[in-house]
C-alpha cells in the first residue's frame, strides 16, 4: 500500500502529494463512476500546485491510483515531450518515489493523457486517465446544471441530436471535430474530452479502464472495460472518423514513419508547404523501428 509516509525524495510531502483522505475520496468517486458508466460523479477537487486547466483533474486521479510499482506514461496531444507532459511527469516522479515513468505505451500500467488515446490498443492491465476541461456535453444546449442533471437522468439528449441535425443542414455533415458526444452503456452521454473523432471508437469495448477527471468542474466519470460507447449519430448519417485524404483522394501517410493508419497532425514546413506526422509520438517511433528491422532483414 502507499499509505506510508515517504521522505526519501527530500520533500515533506505525502506519497502522491495528496493526503490519504483526499485519495480515498477520489477513489470512492472512481468506484461510483465505474458502477454507473458515463455518470458524472462530483468530488472535492483539491488545490494542486498548478493552475486549474493544466490537468489538475487528471493528476488527482493519477495520484490517487498510483502505487509504488506503477509504470506511468504522461502524454499531451499524443506527445510525451511537450512542456505540459514533461512537467506533469516530473511532478509525479518527485512526489511518488519508487514509481517509474516511461514513454512506451506497451510498458506502462497507468497513462495520463490530454486530448489523445494512444494508437496502440490498451490492455486489461492498463488504466487511461484523460484530462477534461468541460465534462458536461449538455452545457451547449442547457445552461442550468439542475435541468442538465434531470436531462441526464432521463437520458433526454434530443437537443444534442438537434445540434447534429443543424450541422447536417448547414454543412452537409456533422462537423464536430473533437469532444464528440458519446453514449455510454446505452444511457449517459459523455463529453469524451477533446479527443479527436479518430479516438472515439477506441472507447467502445476497451480492454482498459478509461477514467475522466475534470479538476475545475470537479467531476469524475468512467468508461469501464468492455463497455458499449456509441457516438451520437443518425441511422442514415452514421458517425465517421477523419479520413486524412489528399486532393487525389489518397490516404495521407506520416512523413516520418510512413504510417497510413494513425491520426495525423498537420505541420507547416519552413517553405510554407504542409506536412503530416503521427500525432502519437510513441506509435511513430514504434513504426520507425519496425520499418528499420524489416529493412535490416536479409532478403
The set of residues, in sequence order, having a beta carbon less than 8 Å from that of 245 and lying 6+ positions away, is 251, 252
Kindly indicate which of the ranges 44-52, 61-69, 160-168, 269-277 contains the residues binding other proteins, using the contact rule CB under 8 A: 160-168
Q: Which residues are catalytic?
A: 38, 254, 257, 278, 284
Residue holding cell 433526454?
Answer: 156
The residue count for binding other proteins (CB under 8 A) is 17
Give the one residue of 158, 175, 177, 289 binding other proteins; rule: CB under 8 A.
158
Part in contact with other proteins (CB under 8 A); list of ranges 20-28, 51-59, 152-160, 177-185: 152-160
Residues 227-246 that bind other proteins (CB under 8 A): 234-237
Residue from 31, 35, 120, 162 in contact with other proteins (CB under 8 A): 162
200 within 8 A of 239, measured Cβ to Cβ: yes
Helix H or strand E segment including 168? helix 158-171
Q: Does the protein bind other proteins through residue 146 (CB under 8 A)?
A: no
Name the residue nearer to other proteins (CB basis): 25 or 156. Answer: 156
Candidates 166, 242, 246, 261; binder of other proteins (CB under 8 A) is 166
97 Cα distance to chain centroid:
25
Among 35, 168, 207, 291, binds other proteins (CB under 8 A): 168
Q: How far apart are CA 207 and CA 226, in angstroms?
A: 6
Q: Which residue has the cell 511532478?
A: 91
- Grid cell digits, residue 49: 500546485
Residue 227 CB, shortest distance to other proteins, in Å, is: 21
Distance between CA atoms of residues 125 and 209, nearest Å:
9
CA distance 68 to 198: 33
Nearer to other proteins, 170 or 298 (CB): 170
Residue with cell 489518397: 250
Residues that bind other proteins (CB under 8 A): 150, 153-154, 156, 158-159, 161-162, 165-166, 168-170, 234-237
Amino acid at each position: 500500500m502507499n499509505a506510508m509516509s515517504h521522505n526519501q525524495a527530500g520533500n515533506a510531502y505525502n506519497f502522491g502529494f495528496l493526503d490519504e483522505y483526499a485519495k480515498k475520496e477520489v477513489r470512492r468517486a472512481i468506484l461510483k463512476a465505474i458502477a454507473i458508466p458515463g455518470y458524472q460523479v462530483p468530488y472535492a477537487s483539491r488545490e494542486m500546485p498548478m493552475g486549474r486547466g493544466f490537468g489538475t483533474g487528471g493528476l488527482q486521479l493519477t495520484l490517487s491510483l498510483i502505487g509504488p510499482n506503477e509504470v506511468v506514461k504522461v502524454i499531451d496531444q499524443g506527445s510525451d515531450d511537450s512542456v505540459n507532459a514533461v512537467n506533469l511527469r516530473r511532478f509525479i516522479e518527485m512526489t511518488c518515489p519508487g514509481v517509474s515513468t516511461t514513454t512506451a505505451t506497451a510498458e506502462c500500467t497507468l497513462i495520463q493523457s490530454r486530448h489523445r488515446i494512444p494508437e496502440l490498443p490498451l490492455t486489461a492491465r492498463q488504466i487511461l486517465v484523460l484530462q477534461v476541461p468541460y465534462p458536461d456535453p449538455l452545457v451547449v444546449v442547457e445552461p442550468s446544471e439542475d435541468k442538465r442533471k434531470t436531462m441526464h437522468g432521463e437520458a433526454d439528449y434530443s437537443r444534442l441530436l438537434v445540434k447534429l441535425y443543424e450541422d447536417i443542414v448547414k454543412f452537409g455533415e456533422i462537423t464536430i471535430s473533437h469532444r464528440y458526444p458519446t453514449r455510454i452503456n446505452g444511457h449517459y452521454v459523455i463529453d469524451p474530452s477533446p479527443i479527436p473523432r479518430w479516438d472515439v471508437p477506441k472507447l467502445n469495448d476497451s480492454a482498459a479502464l478509461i477514467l475522466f477527471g475534470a479538476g475545475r468542474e470537479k467531476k469524475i466519470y468512467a468508461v469501464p472495460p468492455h463497455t458499449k460507447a456509441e457516438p451520437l449519430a443518425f441511422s442514415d448519417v452514421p458517425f465517421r472518423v477523419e479520413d486524412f485524404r489528399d486532393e487525389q483522394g489518397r490516404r495521407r501517410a506520416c512523413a516520418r514513419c510512413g504510417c497510413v493508419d494513425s491520426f495525423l497532425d498537420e505541420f507547416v514546413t519552413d517553405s510554407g508547404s504542409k506536412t503530416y506526422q503521427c500525432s502519437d509520438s510513441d506509435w511513430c517511433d514504434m513504426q520507425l523501428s519496425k520499418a528499420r528491422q524489416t529493412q535490416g532483414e536479409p532478403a
